[in-house]
Amino acid sequence: MQWSQCPPRFMDMAVQLSPTLPKVSLGLGVVAVVLIPLGFGVVVIGDVASIAWRSAGLIAGAMTASAFISSPGFAIAAILTGHSARRRYPGEAFGRAGLIVGYVALGMFLALVVLMAIAWMSIRAR
């Protein structure tokens, strides 16, 4: 039975589900923001753990690199899904929040890359 064939009383009983795309956008943005400081925390823990176990620093470095590499991917995904959510569901605030958090995460990542490049250049100049 299709919706067009349903009696009007059943059309009123249909459950209105909230859209998931805006929530996905916000979730991706939050993941992108959380991965950046998480990378720094893993490095500190790895440095402390490398006192007892030699490979801990290498494992922590790999985890940090994967966090930093995947963070802009999550930020870009949050931005894309946020724009799509804003177009499909203009009244949903989660889409706008996902857009804002995605752009903030991408900005944080780019600022961190610029700071790392400046630090690298200042170390190499000596």
The answer to whether position 69 is within a domain reads: yes
Tell me which residue range forms the domain holding 85: 19-124
The answer to whether position 7 is within a domain reads: no
Place of tokens 């795309």: 21
The answer to whether position 14 is within a domain reads: no
The answer to whether position 114 is within a domain reads: yes
* Under 8 Å between Cβ of 78 and 101: yes
Q: What is the DSSP letter of 55?
A: T
The answer to whether position 51 is within a domain reads: yes
Q: What is the pLDDT of residues 35-88, one digit of tens each?
A: 988 888 888 888 888 888 888 888 888 888 898 899 999 999 999 999 999 999
User: How many structural domains are present in the chain?
Assistant: 1
The answer to whether position 47 is within a domain reads: yes
The answer to whether position 111 is within a domain reads: yes
pLDDT (0 to 100) of residue 92: 87
Predicted TM-score (pTM) of the model is: 0.77
